[in-house]
Chain A
Amino acid sequence: MSYPPVINRPEKLTSVETPKKDALGRPIRVACVTCHSLRPDAPLPQSAGELREFHEGLRFTHGTLTCASCHVPGRVDQLSMADGRTIEMLDVIELCSQCHGQKRRAFDRGAHGGMMGYWDSSRGPKLRHNCVDCHDPHTPAFAGGQPVLRPNDRGLRQGGGH
């Protein structure tokens, strides 16, 4: 018996967060299709700066890509591959892999992207992160931040013990 790796499919692939909270204090999410089925489709803009209504303020720093490089007009649940095919939004990893082949190979061998769960596939699955769990596809550089757990061991910040 061998458990195959389970790759996460984050909610953000199919819904967006709203400022409203539910009874447990979690943000209420709204499926993408909720809006996109109500409004007529507009043509895709060339860049994030052209977004005036909805998604405004989206920062985009991902090379020279345009919106249409990945998104399909009128199909919010689809992504556009370089060869013209479309794939499910949920399979976004395949889209990323077109350019980031080295990372993909490393990802497939557990050497990129991290994981949780089991190293021993006979006992349980590896729970893999999705590309978009860690990288915002529009600004993919990993952010960093303030480090945690500053060392405070004996003697570190003075001359000796007591």
Chain B
Amino acid sequence: MEALFATTTGILAASGLYLSLRGRTFPVVVGLTLLSYAVNLFLFSTGGLTTDGAAVINDSGGYTDPLPQALVLTAIVIGFAMTAFSVILAMRVRGDVGSDHVNGNRIDEPREDKS
């Protein structure tokens, strides 16, 4: 399970990083979202991965670390709010600057997201 978890997190993070380095605002926002998913998964795993553990606590004493869950919850809430904000902001940039390029270039390059 560790290998699967690590691969998933790694692929998400790599895709997120790649997209957030793109030149247009939409891929950047999607990239940031993917990165935040990767970070949430990573945080979730910091308490160690256990299967069949009790959600909170039980008599046998085997339970998962509750703190990463609390941390992830906080991170998700903040990440959601920030994504919503950056979407609105990207739209504002499109409207104000007249271009969805992060540098504000107006030159009409061939659309990279059509292919």
Q: Do A and B originate from a single complex?
A: no
Binding site for B on A (CB under 8 A): none
Binding site for A on B (CB under 8 A): none
